[in-house]
Amino acid sequence: MMPIVLRRILLICLMVGIGIVVIVLPGLIHSKRMIAPSNLRFVLNSKSDSLNQENIITALRSVIDPEVGMNIYDLGLVSEIKIEKDNEVTIGLLLTTLECPLINELQDAIKEAVRKVPKVKAVKVYLDKKNTWTPERMTEEGKRQFQIK
């Protein structure tokens, strides 16, 4: 059994997430303007052929945001993928809300998924506090899942 405090925190996070979707989604659905693709920053400092952007993205797509039920990459929560010469990978992570108690679990899931990519030596995940998540950051697949045109 989960302690009542943890249940309340999870319920608050879920309600905040639903609130964001309820407030933002109708405007996006009825909007006539084109939504820009995810503005992911990708930095490659490695010469490795097998360790590339697609391998990392595939790993990130296996990590599901527990509040929304969508993978973090298509949801637009990944702000940066950086691969260093020594095959260390750094991931910038945006959050829909900073009050979420699942931040550590999400970071651990990202590290675990990316570590499984062949030749990855180390994984660092940082919270990107310089950028803000908005629905415009979602990939086309993410928008399709939310039925955003």
Locate the domains of the chain by residue range. 4-145
What does the alpha-carbon distance between residue 18 and residue 34 come to, in Å, rounded to a whole number? Answer: 24
Read off the tokens for 105.
Answer: 């679990």
Q: What is the pTM of this model?
A: 0.67
Q: Are 65 and 78 a contacting pair, CB within 8 Å?
A: no
Tell me, what's the pLDDT at 103? Answer: 87
Instruction: Assign 66 to helix, strand or coil.
Output: coil
Over the chain, what is the mean pLDDT? 80
Q: What is the CATH number of domain 4-145?
A: 3.30.300.130
Residues 48-106 have pLDDT tens digits of 555 778 899 999 999 998 888 899 999 999 999 999 888 999 999 998 877 777 888 99
Q: Which amino acid is at 69?
A: G
Tell me, what's the pLDDT at 39? Answer: 52
Tell me, what's the pLDDT at 23? Answer: 66
β-strands 88-93, 78-83 pairing: antiparallel
Residues 18-31 have pLDDT tens digits of 777 666 655 544 43
Tell me, what's the pLDDT at 51? Answer: 72
Strand partners, 125: 91
Tell me, what's the pLDDT at 116? Answer: 94
pLDDT of residue 33 exceeding 50: no
Read off the tokens for 6.
Answer: 């943890």
